[in-house]
Amino acid sequence: MNIRPFREIKRRKTKEIRVGNVKVGGDNPITVQSMTNTLTKNIKETVKQIEKIEAAGADIVRVSCPDQESTKALKDIINLTEIPIVADIHFHYKRAIEAAESGAACLRINPGNIGDKKKIKEVISSAKNNNCSIRIGVNAGSLEKDILEKYKEPCPEALVESALRNINIIEDLDFYKFKVSVKSSDVFLSIEAYRQLSKETDYPLHLGITEAGTFLPGSIKSSIGFGSLLLDGIGDTIRVSLSDDPVEEIKVGNEILKSLNLRNRGVKIISCPSCARQAFDVIKTVKKLEEKLSHIKTPISLSIIGCVVNGPGEAAQTDIGITGGGKGNNMLYLNGIESKKISSDEMISKVVRLVEEKAEEIEKT
């Protein structure tokens, strides 16, 4: 069912670039990405993790290349995977050149940290020759020495000045296929830096609250930071940074976009927190359904409500709905209309089958 959202977000117009076969910026969907935490030189484990990240719904994956052994492994990793790979480079310009030559779709660099202009020129030349885009990655924890001395501490103005300086460096080399990030672990600092930068440039912006923490606090910080910016139309690609499995970063990122109706992927479950009125175990049911429906990529809305107080109203706005009823007889809704009663015992298997059939039907059309 296509229920019109209460509010539609008007996205800021940005330039379009390509990261491999994925378009970022312009009118394209906001992309979701993560980063491997395996040793890059361990090709088998890195490929295995990339495949899991992609299966979870990632559009782009970043891989760290701290040494020559990693950039050599990168070529094999890229040949064994399909998703665009971003090579994460910090200081050594040769690693960036090697990564581009190995087939990286994008280089994450901070030109100001690489060194003199000759080295930066070589990196940009390699990016051009290998059809490789770039992300200028400004981070509050690694600002240029002179900028940090000027502002005394990381602040929005410092991050923006660093970003604009690096933009100018790359533009002067006649290169324009890049996106920019100004990340901090401080939510307010990040929000303000991105807001200021969005007024200064129309290059695509990569959103991130860096080093956000473990799953729960990191997800909350990222949701607040991203949500504030995305509601203003700012952001073209996102990465949730968690001290957790990268797969969880993708799940959280996609849920943030789903909650703002910016991108719909997979099953969107609307469920109640449960109370004494529930006619079945809502929490247990929803957890099982999330697990059994994780393979569905087609946008489908599903409501699981434990009683008749809000159940019918929510079901009227979803593709498939369940409202708890007395004595284990729960009402099934299809496209917002009452269909039939089903028992609590058969509910999960019935809903899974209906969702799979609905997804197949949508895909055919």
Q: pLDDT of 145-179, one tens digit each?
A: 899 999 999 999 999 999 999 999 999 999 999 99
Q: Which residues pair with residue 24 across a beta bridge?
A: 17
Question: Residues of the chain with pLDDT > 70: what percent?
Answer: 98
CB 269 within 8 A of CB 243: no
Task: Tell me the whole-structure pTM to 2 decimals.
Answer: 0.91
Q: Domains in the chain, please, with CATH?
A: 16-259 (3.20.20.20), 267-364 (3.30.413.10)
Residue 88 has pLDDT above 80, yes or no: yes
Q: Which helix (H) or strand (E) holds 41?
A: none
Q: pLDDT of 110-154, one tens digit each?
A: 876 777 788 999 999 999 999 999 999 999 988 888 999 999 999
Q: pLDDT of 167-216, one tens digit each?
A: 999 999 999 999 999 999 999 999 999 999 999 999 999 999 998 899 99
Nearest-CA neighbor of 36 among 76, 77, 96, 75?
Answer: 77
Residue 2 has pLDDT above 70, yes or no: no
pLDDT band at 5 (very low <50, low <70, confident <90, very high): low
pLDDT band at 228 (very low <50, low <70, confident <90, very high): very high
DSSP states along 180-201: EEEEBSSHHHHHHHHHHHHTT-
Residue 308 has pLDDT above 70, yes or no: yes
